[in-house]
Chains A and B, each alone.
Chain A
Amino acid sequence: MKRFQTLAKVCAFGVVALSAGTAAAWQYYPGIAFKAAYASDAACFNVHSYSGIRNDCTTTRLAIASVPMWTVGYHPTTVQIYGNNSWCETETVNGVGNAGQVGATTYTVAGPMAWQTLNTGDRYVWEDFALVFRCGLQSGGIIGGFTID
């Protein structure tokens, strides 16, 4: 009986550990996870279709999203965006709101408005740090979603 209980415990731990590892491996968030960085721009951002966020103002506005992180190390990041004159970047931030690592700004490709995936780089996350996505979203631009690996 004790052997059976031990085996059951091992199996349960394994399932939990493997589930946690899988969940931490890749994360997708819809665009509506973004919000206006400044309260005065809140009315600019509206939901597009089911889960995108669109800038309905006439000029570029700053949108921001944050994600708590559970695993220390480098995490590749991307943003799916519709536009031709928008930009995004990612940062690692600590408990007092300061940046630990600031990623390079990645711009959308010029030309007709189009859906694009921006590679916003690998961010290093330490314990008690989180990831922040910042995008300068042009008028009519849409953020469809973003990913963290």
Chain B
Amino acid sequence: MSSRLQTVLAIVNTAAIAGVGLTLAGHQRASDEAMEELRAQVRHASEGTDAKRAAAETAMRLWAANAARPPTAPHARPGAPEAAPSGAAAAAEDPGEDVPPAPPIRPPPASFEQSRTRVFNAFAAEPVDGDWSARASRTLDDAFRAHLPGTSRVKSLECRATLCRVELVHRAQADHGAFLMNGLRTWPGSVFIANEAQEGDDYVVTLLASKEGTNPPL
């Protein structure tokens, strides 16, 4: 092969290598630009997704919390105020197209103290049913006479339309427990033990006895 041909081939070869290198460099630049654009898109999408994820997690927490709660008690006051929606709940109201809507917020379940207040208020608001209150008072009085320990006494007894309020005074807490186990078996309804308190030497118990077939507004 002549040296001239070798020179031409070397030039062509060098030119080809240089062309490939330039092409690769161009592709790299294009890839970098595409990558940068992709990163920008991902950053933008992440901002939206983070907000959606936060809303979704809030919704899930509310959902789980409400699902674990029972339906409102059958005797809950119909006019009971609803809890005001919190900021987190408000954020969960528009969580995005792939997140289920947050359930309505239910009021927290009644505590024992709230139940006591409700029943006391219900008793105070009741009119007196003369017929029932007389019979109910007699039934309770008979039960107390038959089963109260000698050291215990009835401090007060008042019946109205569906509830009787009784205050019993015992010498000791054990007397109350023993009486409650067996002493009210003749009473045909349920009995709510609203309060037990040591007052000096006395152990005072407040009971709300309900009419047969009714449930107190606990």
Q: Which of A13, A94, A105 contacts B64 (CB 8 A)?
A: A13
Q: Which residue of B lies closest to A21 (CB)?
A: B67
- 28 cross-chain CB contacts under 8 A: A2-B49, A2-B53, A10-B56, A10-B59, A10-B60, A10-B100, A13-B64, A17-B63, A24-B70, A72-B69, A72-B73, A72-B109, A73-B72, A87-B185, A94-B112, A98-B196, A101-B218, A102-B190, A102-B193, A103-B190, A105-B185, A124-B115, A124-B192, A124-B215, A124-B216, A124-B218, A126-B112, A129-B112
**Residues of chain B lying within 8 A (CB to CB) of residue A99:** 180, 193
Q: Give A126 to B193 CA distance when docked, in angstroms.
A: 13
Q: Check if B190 sits within 8 Å of A104, measured CB to CB.
A: yes
Query: What residues of chain B lie closer than 8 Å to A114, measured between beta carbons?
Result: none
Give A12 Cβ to nearest chain B Cβ, in Å: 9
A9 near B: Cβ within 8 Å? yes
Residues of A within 8 Å of B69, CB to CB, are 71-72
Contacts of A124 in B (CB 8 A): 73, 115, 192, 215-216, 218
B102 CB, min distance to chain A CBs, angstroms = 11
Option from B56, B74, B112, B184 in Cβ contact (under 8 Å) with A74: B74
B109 and A73 contact, CB distance less than 8 A: yes
Listed in ascending order, the chain A residues whose CB lies under 8 Å from chain B are 2-3, 6-7, 9-10, 13-14, 16-18, 20-21, 24, 70-74, 87, 94, 98-105, 121-124, 126-127, 129
**Chain A residues positioned under 8 Å from B72 (CB to CB):** 73
Q: How far is the CA of A127 from the CA of B126 in the complex (A)?
A: 28
Q: Given A17-B68, A74-B215, A101 and B190 touching (CB < 8 A)?
A: yes
Told that A124-B215, A126-B115 touch, could you supply 7 new A-B pairs with CB distance under 8 A?
A10-B59, A71-B68, A72-B70, A74-B73, A74-B74, A100-B112, A129-B112
The answer to whether A74 and B60 have CB atoms under 8 Å apart is no
Which residue in chain B gives the minimum CB-CB distance to A69? Answer: B70
* Total cross-chain contacts (CB, 8 A): 99
Residues on B with C-beta less than 8 A from A14 are 63, 100
Indicate whether A104 sits within 8 Å of B188 (C-beta atoms), given known contacts A13-B60, A72-B110: yes
CB < 8 Å neighbour of B215 from A17, A100, A122:
A122
B161 at the interface (CB under 8 A from A): no
**A132, chain B: closest CB distance, angstroms:** 11
Shortest CB distance A125–B (Å): 9
Q: Which residue from chain A places its CB closest to the CB of B67 in the assembled complex?
A: A17
Give the complex CA separation of A3 and B110 in angstroms: 38
Residue ID in chain A nearest B73 by CB atoms: A73
Q: How far is the CB of B197 from chain A (nearest CB, A)?
A: 12
B38 to chain A, nearest CB (A): 15
Q: Which residues of A lie under 8 Å from residue B49 when comparing CB positions? A: 2-3
Residue of A whose beta carbon sits closest to that of B60: A13
Residues of A within 8 A of B111 (CB): 126-127
Closest to B177 in A: A98
Does B44 touch A at the CB level, under 8 Å? no
A17 engages B193 (CB within 8 Å): no
